[in-house]
Amino acid sequence: MKLTVIGAGSWGSALAEVAARCNHEVMLWAHDPRVAEAIQNTRSNPVYLPAAEFPSNVRVTNSLREAAAFSRTILMVTPSHHYRAVLSEIRESLAEPVEIISGTKGIENDSLQRISEVSASVLGEKLSGFGVLSGPTFALEVSRRDPTAAVVASSDFDLAGRIQQALSCESFRLYRSDDVVGVELGGSLKNVIAIAAGVVEGLGLGNNTVAALITRGLHEIRRLGMTLGGRPETFAGLAGMGDLVLTCTGALSRNRSVGVALGRGKQLEEILRETRLVAEGVKTCRSVRDLAERHQIDMPISLEMFRVLYEGDSARSAIQRLMGRALKAEVENLN
């Protein structure tokens, strides 16, 4: 089949490699023409994923019009805060409806919409199907063919099955689901908890603290996720616990790295200036705070990260407040 991948960052590049290994024709769109030229000339991505090795069945373009015309199945792998604008531009080039598979992990700040909702609102009748691909997937490890498992979810189970078959190969295995809400929220909310896990390391705290944070962080994710329509088993799976553990503990995690720097006393503006990579949890944290307030859900770790990121509070004070909260039962009625 033909597949268009929108976004030539590290994850978009890794997905383009996977699709090529599965013997599909791939068109990879890069926003930066210099990145597109580098990929074309080197068959790698020296800016975002130097380990990539693109075979001849991967073409690259800087033209959204060309990319949109290439295939009726589009993998969207752009930062969440650019997703609406890029998809709106694509819409103008569509001659017929397309299937969108999202590899983006985030929630819009202003609308508080998930990516599936943004896709539906932008494309309308030009959206023939939607799926989301998520899970514990560091791009570098996918590129070097480390065995990796993820999940693709769609309300159209046939679509989920087709993508599962199309992108599964010897080193990349997809499971399918129909819980779009749960998979989207698991992939988005874990980034906020990963920033907190980085803060723990930056403060010099140990494994006890990290284990407690991950466990209680999953509790927060599950609480908000179920309120918004996700299913509990999804948060115990690859898109929930699996992705959370990876992002909170792996040295390749962008969000964890932001937290480490915060814990060591750096200011957010300085941290973001020093990297070209996007840490989705920074913006998602604002959306999570707003969703928690809207639905009156207690999410103490996420709220403390909002205070550190946006209100200038200290990371150590955040930990102290979390430890000083009123004592309670470990598990309350989540329904």
Can you give the CATH number for the domain in which 13 is found? 3.40.50.720
Q: What is the pLDDT of residue 114?
A: 98
In a domain, 332, yes or no: no
Last residue of a domain, one of 178, 207, 223: 178
Whether 130 and 242 share a structural domain: no
Low-confidence residues of the chain, pLDDT below 70? 333-335
Q: What is the pLDDT of residue 334?
A: 52
Last residue of a domain, one of 144, 178, 212: 178
CA distances to 87, 193, 248, 294 from 109, rounded to whole Å, are 17, 17, 23, 13
Cβ neighbour number for residue 28 with a 10 Å cutoff: 32
Which amino acid type is present at position 50? P
Residue carrying the six token digits 């994923």: 49
Last residue of a domain, one of 159, 178, 197: 178
Are the C-beta atoms of residues 28 and 11 closer than 8 Å to each other? no
In a domain, 86, yes or no: yes
Whether 222 and 172 share a structural domain: no
Whether 167 and 233 share a structural domain: no
Say whether 328 is catalytic. Answer: no
Whether 20 and 72 share a structural domain: yes
- Looking at the structure of the chain, the number of domains it has is 2
Q: What is the pLDDT of residue 333?
A: 66
Q: What is the pLDDT of residue 180?
A: 98
Query: Residues 190, 266, 283, 328: which is the catalytic one?
Result: 190
Whether 217 and 143 share a structural domain: no
Q: What is the pLDDT of residue 332?
A: 76
Residue-number span of the structural domain to which 294 is assigned: 188-323
Are the C-beta atoms of residues 110 and 81 closer than 8 Å to each other? no
Whether 284 and 167 share a structural domain: no
